[in-house]
Every structure is written in structure tokens, then in C-alpha cells.
Amino acid sequence: MTPRLAIVTAALLMAAAVGCGAFGAHALRPRIGPEMLGVWQTGVNYHGWHALGLLLLGTLMLRFPDSAALRYAAWLFIAGVALFSGSLYLLALGAGASFGILTPFGGAAFIAGWVTLAVGIARQLR
């Protein structure tokens, strides 16, 4: 993961999060129940926050280009968006409940990404 890839990916993920939010508010609201709309919105919230986290990582990687921990954290955030938010989007759209098995793996990737970011920065700022 390079700083450029992290920042570009963050911008694209943020654009997708805004699009997913608008899709949920305008296209899904009349078609799915409030519970599934809440599931969709949870996916959008975590998607957007972790896209911003990836943007932060990309800028930190510019300052600390040799930090493997920052590179790993970036990949963990991307995996978290795909697994956590992606599985929630699929569930809200009516995919089988078996997709719900992916959600905790995405959550674990988010947590691991933040811990890895903390470790990486702590190492750099000794």
C-alpha cells in the first residue's frame, strides 16, 4: 500500500459511501422496512468513517513512509469496509442471512486496523 493508493482509495470509498447513503435515503426507503433500512444505514456509517480513516492513514504514510504497520492498517480498513459494510448492504437488499457471517469479520478488521494504526504511530513517535 502506497500513500497515493491509500488516499485515492479513500476518496473513492468516500464517494461510494455518499452514493450508498443517497441510494438508501431515496431509492431504498420506500422499498424496504425500517429495520433493514437501519442495517443499510449502519453499513453506510461505518463505510464513511473508515474511508475517512483511510484518508488519515494515507496522509500519515506520507510522513512515515517506512511504517509497515500503517500499510497493514490501511488494508485492514479496506477489508473492513468490504466485509462489514458490504455484508450489511447485501443483507438489507435481501441476500440470504448467511451473508451475516461476514459482518463480524469486517468488524474485527476495523478494530485490528485501529489497533495497528495505534501501534504504528506509537513506534514512529518514540
C-alpha dihedral (82, 85, 86, 88), degrees to nearest 10: 150
pTM, entire model:
0.95
Task: State which residues form the domain around 17.
Answer: 3-124
Distance of CA 103 to the CA centre of its chain: 12
In sequence order, what are the residues at sequence separation of 6 or more whose Cβ sits closer than 8 angstroms to the Cβ of residue 10? 51, 52, 54, 55, 57, 58
Helix (H) or strand (E) holding 110: helix 103-124
pLDDT tens sequence across 11-24 = 999 999 999 999 99
The percent of residues above 70 in pLDDT, for the chain, comes to 100
Give the total number of structural domains in the chain: 1
Looking at every residue in the chain, the average pLDDT score rounds to: 97
